[in-house]
Structure 1
Amino acid sequence: MFTLKNNFKLIPFVLLISSFNFLFFHIPFFQFVFETINYKSLNGIFVIASLMVLMLVLNAFVFSLLLTLSQKIGKFLLVLFFLINAVAVYFVATYGVIIDESMIGNILNTNYDESSSFFSYKLIIYLVLLGVLPSYIIVKSKIEKITFKKFSILSGLTILFALVLVFVNATNWLWIDKNSKKLGGLAMPWSYVVNTSLFYIHEYKKNEKEILLPDAKIKDTEKAIVVLVIGESARRQNFSLYNYDKNTNPLLSLTPDVFHFDANSSATYTTAGVKSILDHKETSDLYEILPNYLYRNDVEVFWRTTNWGEPPVHIKNYQDRAYLQSIAKEEDKNYDAVLLSGLKEQILASKKNKILVVLHTSTSHGPSYNTKYPSQFEHFKPVCKSVELSNCSQNELINAYDNTIVYTDYLLHRTIEELKQLKSYKSTMLFVSDHGESLGEKNLYMHGIPMSIAPKEQYEIPFIVWLPDDSSKKIKKFDMLSQYHVFHSVLNFLHIESPIYNEEMNIFE
C-alpha cells in the first residue's frame, strides 16, 4: 500500500492521473458518443474502445511530457487542468453547454454580475471533490525522473500506437469529422485549452482599428428618431404575438401599428449576436458599427445598456447601468425599465434632427430568470428559483422565462408610449434579440451551442417593429428577416444616404 510520501515512477503516475481525468470528466463525452453511435454493433464497440484508449494514452503522454520538462510547471498545469475541468464539467452537466471557441468568447466576455448568478453549492461540491482533492494528490506526490532516452523511446512508441489506432479507424473518420465540434468541446482539458488558443489567435487577427465605412450624408432636416431595442436571450416561440398559447404580450397585442416578423440570429451568443445587429453585412471583420457610423456622420446617438458584449462603441453618450441607476426611480433601478430613465428629456435636449437610441437589455438572460422582473410581472406560477435549471420542473422553468417576456412586453410598450409623446419627431421602434434560449429541450439550457448544431430555440428570434399609422413610411412584406436588416432600415428611416446602403435589406417602403 503506497502513501503520498512514497515516490511514484513517472509512467504509473501519469497513467493514474490520466485515469482520474478520464473517469471524472468524460461522462458527458461518452454520453454523447453512446447517443450518436450504434454501441451494440461490433464497429460501435470498437470506436468506443478506441476513443477510451486514445484518451487515456494521449493524455498520459502529454502529462508525462509536461512533468519531464519541469515537475514544478507540470504539476502547476495539472492542478490548473483539474480545477478548470471541475468547473467546466459542472457547466456541461448542468446546462448542456459545449466548450467550443464561441463559448470561450462568451465566457471571456462575461462580467461579474452575470458570472455570480451561476453560483451554487453544487458547483462548490464539483470544485472540491473533482478539482481540489485530485490537486492535493498531484502536489504532494513525489515523482521519480526518467532518462531522456527512455522518455524518447516511450514517446515514439506512444505516437506510433496512436497513429495505428487512428489508421485502423479510417472507416469511422466521417463519423468523427461530422461530430468533431461536439467531441472536441467535451474532451477535457483540451476543449478549453485548444479553443481558448483559437479564440485569442482569431482576436489577434482581427483589425486592431475598425474599418471605416464610406462617408454618409443626411438628406433632409426632418426630425426623426429610431429606438433600437436589443433583446437578450428572447426566443420568438414564447411571444404570444407569434401564436404562443400563453399571453406573454398583453400590452403589445393591444397596441396599434405593431408588426412582427420571423427572424433568425446569426449566432447563439451575445457578442456575435449584437455585432450582427449593428453590422451592415455578414462579416468577421471589425467594420464600423451602426452607432459609430451614424455618430461620425452627425447623427445624435444614445447608447443605454444594462448588458455587455457589444463591439467597441465610439460615441459621446454611452450610458451604462451604474449611470442609469443614479438617475432612475427606485422601482426601476434593478430592472431594464432603468433604460428609459430620463430618456425623453435627453432626446428633447438634443440639437440634432436625426437621433438613434440603442437600448441594450438583459431581461431574459438566465439562469436567474425569476430575478429579472418586478413581482407584479410574475403572471405565471410556480417559477424556477434555482440557478441549477435541471433541478426545476419544465413548467417552473418556462413560467419564470415567460415572465421575463411579459416584462419585455411592458418595456417595449412603455418605449412606444414615450415615443408617442415626442410629437415633433417622426419615430419608430425596432426590437431584435441577440439570440434565443434553450429551456430544457433536448436537455439543453440557455445558449451558446455552435450554430452548426444549435437547436432552433437558440436562433429563432423575434423582430418586432412599431410604426405609427400616420407615418410617411410603410412596412414591406417579408417571410424572414435577419439581424443585418437593422442597419439598412435605420439608414432608410433617418434618410441617411450612403454608398453601402442596400435597399433589399430595408424593411420600410
Structure 2
Amino acid sequence: MAVAGVGGPCAGSGHRQLRHDGEAATMSTVRDSLRRLQVPDLAIRGWRPGMSGEALLALVCAYFVLACNGTFWQAVAQAGTSPRVRIVLAVAVFALHACVLAPFAWRAATRPVLAALLVLTACANWYASRYAVLFDVDMLRNILHTDMAESRELLSPGLLVHVAVAGGLPAALVLWTRVRIPSLRQDLRRRALFAIAMLALALVALAIGSQGVFSLMRNDHALRHRITPGNVLVSTVRALSQEERGPAGPRETVAADARRIVGAAGPRRPRVLVLVVGETVRADHWGLNGYARQTTPELARRDVVNFPDVTACGTSTEVSLPCMFSILGREHYDRVAIRHQENLLDVLARTGVAVAWRDNQSGCKGVCDAIGMQAMQPAQAPALCTGNRCLDAILLAGLRERIEAADDDVLIVLHPLGNHGPNYFERYPAAFEHYRPTCRHGDPGRCSRQQIVNAYDNAIGYTDAVLGELIDLLGAQHGHDAAMLYVSDHGESLGEYGLFLHGAPLAIAPRQQLQVPMTLWLSPAVTGSAGIDRDCLERIAGDAYSHDNLFDTVLGFFDVQTRDYRPGRDILHPCRRASAAARA
C-alpha cells in the first residue's frame, strides 16, 4: 500500500528543498573555512576581495619595495652589489616596513592609513626620481616650513598624473577591499605575532647578508634616505619631535658687553650697510668669478670687491639663514642653541644700530623675530608683481626714504626671491631673457639641461641689475656713508650627478650647493672714515671665506666693541689702518 504523497506532485519540490538546504550548508562551510584560512573570498562577496589586515598590509609593503623605490634600487645597483645582497635588502625593507606600520594600519584604520601612505609614497617617489631629493630631517623641515607660493611652483601636471596612477589607483584598490576585523583580543594577538614575525624576518635577512649590506650602508650614507616611504615617515617624526616653537623664555644674551665706539678714530658720519642675502645663487655661475657667461655686467662696471671662494653654512635657507647670523656659525653649529640665542641683528639693535629686514621670499626663518619683518606686498609696486609673486626690484621701493629717515647707523637686510627654483623663468622680466631657449616648466624632466641653465643664468642677470641699481641708490646718499654686501644663502644643483634644486644632506652635498658668491661695495666715504685700504682688500679677496665671517665683519663695520668680537673673522680687519689700532 502506497503512502500518500510519495511519488505525487510534491515529491520533486521536496527533493529540491533538500538540495537547496544542502547547498546552503556547504557554502556556509566554505565561507567559514576561507575565513579561517584568511584568504580572499573574491567570488563569494561579489567581486569585492576580503582579507585580513595583515595580508593587506603585506601586499602594500611588497608594492612599496617593488614599485616605489626606483632611486634606491638604482643606487644599490650602481654600488655593484651581488644578487644575494639585493634579495636580502628587498626582504629586509619589506619586513621592516610591515613591522613599523603594523601598530598603525590596524582594524578600522587599516585601509585609510594604507591608502594615504600610498599617495604620500607616490609624491615622494616623484620628487626622488625627478629632482634626486633625499628625504632626511633637514629636507622634511624645509617642506614643513615651505610657504604656499613655493609649494604651488612644485606642482605640475606630470606630478598629478604620476600620483594618480602610482598612488591613487592602488589606494582605490585598498579602499575597495574588505578587511575582516575579528574580536579585539584575537586581533591583538594576531597583530603582535605578525609584527614579531616581520621583525624576525628582517633580522634573519640582515644577518644572512650582513657583510654586504652594512658595507653598502657605510659607503653610501645617503642610501637609507632613499628607502620610501620609511625615509619620509622617520624623518617627519624626527623633524616634528625636534620642532621648536621658539624659546620658552628670554633668549640667551650674546655679546652682553657690546657697545659702539663711534668717534674713537675720529668723528664720522652715520653708516648704512645693506646686506643682501641672495637666494640660491651658486658661485660658478657668478660672472665676477670667471664664469664663461658674463652674468654680472652691472657689478663688473662698478667698483666692487669680489670674493670667489666662499662656503655656505648649509644647503637650504632653513639651515643657512639662522646659521649665518649666529655667533656659532657652521663651526659650532647647533640648531637648537641657535634658536635660543640672540643673533647678529639683536646685538646690533642693542647697541643702537637701526635694524630692518625686507623680505620678498619665505620669511627670515626666525632671524628677525625680535626686530620684525617688512614683507613686500604687490600693492607697493603693482607693475613688478604677478599674482602673489613680485620681482626683486620691489625690495628697493621706498628704500631711499627709509635710509634718509634714520639719523644714526643703519643695517638693512634684503631677502630677495633670487634664483629660487624650479621656476627660474619667473624670476626676471622678459627683457632679461638673454640666453635661449629657456625651460618654462617647473618640471626639469620636460626640459633639456641647457634650457634649465639658460633660465637660471637669466635670473642671475636680473639679480645683477637690481644690485647695480642698489649701489647707485646708496652712492647717492648724502647723510650716510654707505656699503653693500651681497652673499647667497646656498647654491643650486642644475642636473649634476642627477641632482636638481638644493637641500642635499651636508655630508654628501655637492660643491654646487655649498659654494656661493659674495661681493662687497664700499663708498669712498666709508673707506676713508673706516681707514680701509682698498688695495689690501683686493689682495685678500681670493682667500677662503665662509658664512662664519659675516657676524664679525658686520660688527667691525659698525665699530661694535665686545669681547665676543673675533678680529680674525672680520674680513675688513686686516685692511684697516688707523681704525684697526684704535679698535684693538
Q: TM-score normalized by structure 2?
A: 0.81
Matched, 1:227 2:268: no
2:3 matched to which residue of 1? none
Q: State whether residues 91 and 205 of structure 2, in contact with CA within 8 Å, keep that contact through their aligned partners in structure 1.
A: no
In the alignment, the residues of structure 1 paired with residue 231 and residue 363 of structure 2 have an alpha-carbon distance, to the nearest angstrom, of 22
Q: Which moved more, 1:154-163 or 1:245-254?
A: 154-163
1:328 aligns with 2:381: yes
Which deviations, in whole Å up to 9, do the C-alpha atoms of 1:53-90 show, x marking residues without a partner? Answer: 112233234444434xx422232221221111111111
* Range with greater deviation from structure 2 (357-366 or 424-433): 424-433
- Residue aligning to 1:22: 65
Cα deviation, residue 170, structure 1: 2.8
1:161: how far off? 2.6
CA distance in 2, matches of 1:318, 1:156: 53
Which residue in 1 is equivalent to 2:210? 170
> What is the CA distance between 1:188 and its match in structure 2?
1.7
Aligned length: 499
- Could you tell me the percent identity over the aligned residues? 27
Instruction: Give the letter aligned to residue 294 of structure 1.
Output: L
Q: Does 1:188 align with 2:228?
A: yes
What letter matches 1:327 in structure 2? Answer: Q
CA contact (8 A) 1:335 1:372 kept: yes
Computed over aligned residues only, the root mean square deviation of the Cα atoms, in angstroms, reads 2.1
Of 125, 148, 169, 1:112 maps to 148
Out of 83, 106, 122, which is 2:158 matched to?
122
2: CA distance, partners of 1:152 / 1:308: 45
TM-fit CA distance, 1:30: 0.5
Which amino acid counterpart does residue 379 of structure 2 have in structure 1? S
One of 260, 265, 277 as aligned partner of 2:324: 277
The answer (yes or no) to whether the contact 1:262–1:460 under 8 Å persists in 2 is yes
Counterpart check, 1:58 vs 2:127: no
Query: What is the CA–CA distance in structure 2 between the aligned matches of 1:86 and 1:309, rounded to whole Å?
Result: 29
Aligned twin of 1:240: 287
How many Å separate the matches in 1 of 2:214 and 2:95? 23
Partner Cα separation in structure 2 for residue 10 and residue 328 of structure 1: 58
| Higher RCO, 1 vs 2 (CA within 8 Å, ≥6 residues apart) | 1
Give the drift of 1:374.
Answer: 0.8
Query: 1-side partners of 2:275 and 2:461: how far apart?
Result: 19
The answer to whether residue 402 in structure 2 is matched with residue 346 in structure 1 is yes
Instruction: Give the 5 Å matches for 1:134-173.
Output: 134-145=170-181, 147=186, 148-172=188-212
Unpaired runs of at least 5, structure 2:
1-40, 576-584
Q: Distance in 1 between matches of 2:344 and 2:382?
A: 30
From 299, 313, 330, the equivalent of 1:252 is 299
Work out which of the residue numbers 358, 362, 367 in structure 2 matches 1:304: 358
Rounded to whole Å, the distance in 1 between the matches of 2:190 and 2:391 is 63
Instruction: Give, in whole Å, the separation in 1 of the partners of 2:460 and 2:343.
Output: 28
Match of 1:477?
540
Q: Which amino acid aligns with 1:377?
A: F
Distance 1:174 1:451, change over 3 A: same
Q: 2:95·2:201 contact (CA, 8 Å) conserved in 1? A: no
Residue 98 of structure 1, aligned match among 121, 134, 141: 134
Shift of 1:434: 0.8
Amino acid at match of 2:540: K
Counterpart code for 1:193: L
Residue of structure 2 in register with 1:266 after alignment: 313
Deviates more, 1:388-397 or 1:445-454: 388-397
State how far apart, in whole Å, the 1-side matches of 2:326 and 2:171 are.
45
- Once the 2 structures are TM-superposed, how far is the Cα of residue 117 of structure 1 from its aligned partner? 0.8
Matched, 1:357 2:393: no
Higher mean displacement: 93-102 or 210-219: 210-219
Cα distance between partner residues in 1 of 2:53 and 2:381 = 62
- Which structure's CA Rg is the greater one? 2
Equivalent position amino acid for 1:105 in 2: R
Q: Select the residue among 441, 444, 457 that pairs with 1:386.
A: 441
The 1-side partners of 2:104 and 2:380 are apart by 55
Query: What secondary structure is seen at the aligned counterpart in 2 of 1:72?
Result: helix
Aligned residues of 2:307 and 2:519 also touching (Cα < 8 A): yes
2:279 counterpart letter in structure 1: E
SS at match of 1:66: coil
Q: CA 1:190 to 1:317, structure 2 compared with 1: closer, same or farther past 3 Å?
A: closer
Q: Structure 1 CA distance, aligned partners of 2:215 and 2:566?
A: 41
